[in-house]
Amino acid sequence: MGKTSLKIIYLFIGIAFAILIATHWTAQLIVSKMEKSEEQRVKNWASSLQQQSYLIDYTKNFFTQLEEEERKSAAIWQYAYQRMMSPINVSDFNFFIDIFSKNRTIPFIITDRNYSIVDSHDPEVKVTVNGVLKDSILDMYKENPPLPFKRTGKEYLFFYRRSTLFTELQKAMNILSNSFNANILENVASIPVIVTDHTKKHIINFGNIDGEKLKNNPEYLQKTLKQMQDEHEPVLLSDFGFEENKQPYYVFYQSSSLLDNLRLFPYILSLSVLFVLFGIILVFKYSQKSEQDRVWVGLSKETAHQLGTPLSSLLAWIEYFKAKEGEPIKIEDISEVERDVARLEIITQRFSKIGAVPELKEEDIVLILEKVVDYMKKRCSQKISFSINADTRGIYARVNAQLLDWVIENLCKNAVNAICDRVGSIELSVNQRGESVNIDVKDTGNGISKKLFKTVFKAGYTTRNRSWGLGLTLSKRIVEKYHHGKLFVKESIVGKGTTFRIILPLK
Q: What pLDDT, on a 0 to 100 scale, did the predictor assign at position 445?
A: 92
Per-residue pLDDT tens for 113-127? 888 888 887 777 777
Phi, psi of 359 (to 5 degrees): -85, 125
* Domain boundaries along the sequence of the chain: 3-162, 166-257, 358-505
Residue 440 predicted with pLDDT over 70: yes
Q: By CB neighbour count within 10 A (0-12 exposed, 13-18 middle, 19+ buried), where does 252 fall?
A: buried
Type of residue at 326: G
Confidence bin at 96 (pLDDT 50/70/90) = very low
Phi, psi of 157 (to 5 degrees): -120, 135
Per-residue pLDDT tens for 380-390? 888 999 999 98
> How far from each other are the two terminal CA atoms of the chain, in whole angstroms?
27
Q: What is the mean pLDDT of residues 37-53?
A: 73
Q: 0.75 exceeded by the pTM? A: no
Between CA 210 and CA 220 the distance in angstroms is: 9
- Asked if residue 192 lies in contact with residue 41, where contact means CB atoms within 8 angstroms, the answer is no
Per-residue pLDDT tens for 301-318? 666 556 666 677 777 777
Q: What is the mean pLDDT of residues 159-164?
A: 76
Q: What is the mean pLDDT of residues 355-379?
A: 84
Confidence bin at 179 (pLDDT 50/70/90) = low
Per-residue pLDDT tens for 249-289? 888 888 777 777 777 777 787 787 777 777 777 777 776 66
DSSP string, 422-441: S-EEEEEEEEEETTEEEEEE
Q: What is the mean pLDDT of residues 432-444?
A: 92
Instruction: Report the percent of the chain where pLDDT is more than 90.
Output: 14
Max avg pLDDT among 31-45, 54-68, 344-358 = 31-45
Q: What pLDDT, on a 0 to 100 scale, did the predictor assign at position 188?
A: 47
b/e per residue 222-234 (b: at least 16 CB within 10 A): eebbeebbeebeb
Q: What is the mean pLDDT of residues 455-463?
A: 77
> For the domain bounded by 358-505, which CATH number is listed?
3.30.565.10
Out of 70-84, 269-283, 370-384, 435-449, least confident range: 70-84
- Asked if residue 109 lies in contact with residue 133, where contact means CB atoms within 8 angstroms, the answer is yes
